[in-house]
Homo-oligomer: A and B are copies of this chain.
Amino acid sequence: MYLRIEKGSAVPISRQIADQVATLCASGSIKPGDRLPSVRELARELAVNQNTVLRVYERLCGEGLLEMRHGQGTFVTGRMSKARMAAHRTRLVDELRQIVRQATGLGLSPEELHELLGEAMNGEVTAARAAD
């Protein structure tokens, strides 16, 4: 499972992790029954406190997406509901809008933004490949 968090971001770390795990579930990259990395494993990998990871897992359990089995690990149990996915998507669009607003304010031209977008997508692909 490949996650990437930006520590200095305005978006809280726990939120970044939760969103990305949820996205992986939604996209089918991880499926019901799959085992997630252990709390301490993920914490180490992301260089984040274990409690932070733990709380993300707990939250996602509360939402029915994951299940923590004592002594065995944490597993995917469900897919994201359509409603949740739609909400997630709406939020992303809002955030995109915010960023674009500021980027244009800082003088980035539409072309540059589209380029960046392309890079970001390629970077994503590359990263995904690297994780294979």
**CA separation between A123 and B96, bound complex, in Å?**
12
A61-105 interface bits toward B, Cβ cutoff 8 Å, 1 = contact, 0 = none: 011000000010000000000000100110111111111111111
Within 8 A of B (CB), among A27-50: 27, 29, 49
Q: List chain B residues, Cβ under 8 A from A127.
A: 101
Task: Judge whether A103 and B92 touch: CB under 8 Å.
Answer: yes
CB contact between A71 and one of B27, B29, B49, B116 (< 8 Å): that residue? B49
A-side binding surface: helix, strand, loop or mixed?
helix
Task: Judge whether B104 and A124 touch: CB under 8 Å.
Answer: yes
Task: Judge whether B124 and A108 touch: CB under 8 Å.
Answer: no
Task: Judge whether A117 and B100 touch: CB under 8 Å.
Answer: yes
Determine how close the nearest CB of chain B comes to the CB of A16; give it in whole angstroms: 7
With contact pairs A95-B11, A101-B124 given, residues A106 and B23 touching in the complex (Cβ less than 8 Å): yes
